[in-house]
Amino acid sequence: MTKKFIFILVTVTCLCFSASAQKSKSASKNQASSSSQLSYADKMGYARTSKYWGPGTYYCYAPGAPTNKMANNAESNMRDLIGIWGEDYYKEIAKQGFVEVPKNEMKKWFNPNNSKDMRFFYSPDKSYILRSGVRGLNNSPNMPDGHRAQVSTDACRIKLIAKEDTAQVMAAIWQYFRDIHEMKVILGSIGSNFKKAELKVYPIQRIGTGGFPGLRAGSFVLVMENGKPKGYYQYADEILKRTITNPEFELKILGEELAYGYYLQIKLQKEGYVLRYETVSTFFKELEPGRRWESEYPTMLKQYQENLKMEKDAVEYYKKAPQPPVMLDLDKVLHQR
C-alpha cells in the first residue's frame, strides 16, 4: 500500500491525500539488539499473550506503539483489539461482554454477503455489531505447531440508525472526526455521493476534500455563470445536511496513523443508515510476506513526517488559491457542529 498524501491544486484548490507509515518491532534474535530503539511492543497498552510472539518467531516484529495510545474513545478501543492472537481475542471480547450473534439472527444490513465464515458479536448494550477481525495469515510461515497464524488484523463495528434520525447520524460523523483527531490520526479523504448527484452545480451536492485543513475549508465547485467561471466553497456540514436524506446517500472518511488505517462508511439503505467503522492494521498487510521492519521503518517514518508537514502546508495552499476559502478554526469545526 502506498503511503503518500498527494496534494493537487486544480482550478482553485482541491486536496486529496492518502497517507501512512508504520511502527514495529525487530524481526529475529540476531537483529533484536541492533534495533532495540525500534522495539515498542512491550510499551503498548495491551498485552501480546501468544507464545508465538517474541524474539525468534515470525511475529516478533509486532506493531509499534500507536501515535497516541492514551486516547480513550470508540476508535482507540477498536484499535486495541488488533494484533491479538486468535484464541486470546475471543477470550478478550467475552471479558468485555460481547455475545456472539446466533445464526438465526443474522441480518442483511450487517452481513450483506450472507457469509457463513464471518463471526459477529452484539456489543454489551447491543448498540452495535462487532465483526470478528481474526484472520489466517496465509502468506506467513507455519508456527511451531504446524498451523497458520490466526491473528486479529482489523476491527469493525456496524451500527444501524433509523432513516428519520438524521440528527444522530450527523452527530456520529462529527464524533468520528473528534475521535480520530484526538488520536492524532492524519485525516485522508472525505467524500460523499448519492443517486443522481450532480458534480458541477451550486449549491454543492457532493463533498470532495481531504484532511483537517480541507474540513476547515470545505468543498469547492467551479460553475459557469453568465458565460464566466465562478467558484464556490461550502462547508461539509452544510452539504451533508442538505443531501443526507437523498436516495442511496453515501459518505466515506479515510484516515491513517503509524501502522493503522481508519475508515467510516455511511450508507442509506432500506433498513436505515448503516454505519461501518473499520480499523485495519497496515502492519500485517505490509509485513506478512516476510519483509523485515529494520529495512522498512526509516522510509515509512520519513513518509509519515512528510505527511504531517503537508497537512500543515495545506493551509498555505488554500490561502494562495485564486479564490481562497474562509478557513474555519478546527476547534469550532469539530466541537460546535
Q: Strand 150-152 vs strand 134-136: parallel, antiparallel, or unpaired?
A: antiparallel
- Mean pLDDT throughout 30-49? 35
State how far the Cα of 121 lies from the Cα of 90, in Å rounded to an integer. 10
State how far the Cα of 273 lies from the Cα of 68, in Å rounded to an integer. 30
Measured in degrees and rounded to the nearest 5, phi and psi for residue 222 equal -110, 120
Residue 184 CB neighbour total at 10 angstroms = 13
Amino acid 63 reads P
State how far the Cα of 261 lies from the Cα of 279, in Å rounded to an integer. 6
> Can you list the positions of beta strands (E) in 150-259?
150-152, 154-161, 186-193, 208-210, 219-225, 228-234, 250-257
Residue 48 in contact with residue 83, Cβ under 8 Å?
yes
Question: What does the pLDDT look like over 174-203, one tens digit per residue?
Answer: 999 999 999 889 999 999 999 999 999 999
Question: What does the pLDDT look like over 251-304, one tens digit per residue?
Answer: 999 998 877 889 999 999 999 999 999 999 876 665 555 555 556 667 777 877
DSSP tag of 125: T
State how far the Cα of 308 lies from the Cα of 20, in Å rounded to an integer. 10
Residue 250, CA atoms < 13 Å, CB-side half-sphere: 10
Is residue 150 very low, low, confident or very high in pLDDT (cuts 50, 70, 90)?
confident
List, in sequence order, every residue forming a beta bridge with 152; answer none if it has no partner: 134
Distance spanning both ends of the chain, measured CA to CA = 33
Amino acid 140 reads S
Q: What is the CA radius of gyration of the chain?
A: 22
Determine the pLDDT at residue 55: 41
Distance, C-alpha 36 to centroid of its chain: 29
Tell me the whole-structure pTM to 2 decimals: 0.80
pLDDT higher at 301 or 49: 301
Nearest CA to 140 out of 48, 259, 298, 27 is that of: 27
Residue 163 in contact with residue 268, Cβ under 8 Å?
yes
Nearest CA to 54 out of 28, 84, 34 is that of: 28
Residue 88 CB neighbour total at 10 angstroms = 17
Residue 94 CB neighbour total at 10 angstroms = 12
Cell matching residue 65: 506503539
State how far the Cα of 288 lies from the Cα of 141, in Å rounded to an integer. 9
Average pLDDT value for the chain: 78
Residue 322 in contact with residue 12, Cβ under 8 Å?
yes
Residue 84 in contact with residue 93, Cβ under 8 Å?
no
308 burial via Cβ count (<10 Å: 0-12, 13-18, 19+): middle
Cell matching residue 281: 492494521
Q: Which of 44-58, 160-174, 179-193 has the lowest mean pLDDT?
A: 44-58
Question: What does the pLDDT look like over 204-242, one tens digit per residue?
Answer: 999 999 999 999 999 999 999 888 999 999 999 999 999
DSSP tag of 266: E
